[in-house]
Amino acid sequence: MTQVVRRVLISGVVQGVGFRYSMLAQARLLGITGWVRNCRDSRVEAVIAGDAAQVEAMLAWSRIGPAGSSVAELIAEPATGEFHDFELRPTV
């Protein structure tokens, strides 16, 4: 299996709506590894890793987000890294 890694920046109404916790649950459901955190500029940043189908499914979910969120833009770019789980990281 070839691992795909993407750094994702999500903007819109994505803080204060449980986006990170919902993303954590969705990532674990899909078998995605990596991390998610809030940014001080009100965006959510994540690094997601998995096979191509897993990453595409996670990106599709991230374009919609949980109830209460409103995603205005999602930027995904290639990244690197090896992860063993999906975790919440502190705000930067």
Q: Which of 11, 27, 8, 10 is nearest to 77 (CA)?
A: 8
* C-alpha distance from residue 22 to each of 3, 41, 85, 87 (Å): 23, 20, 15, 12
Task: Report the first-to-last Cα separation within the chain, whole angstroms.
Answer: 32
Candidate list 6, 37, 38, 89, residue with the active-site label: 38
DSSP structure class, residue 35:
E
Whether residue 20 lies in the annotated active site: yes
Candidate list 6, 7, 20, 89, residue with the active-site label: 20
- Active site residues per annotation: 20, 38
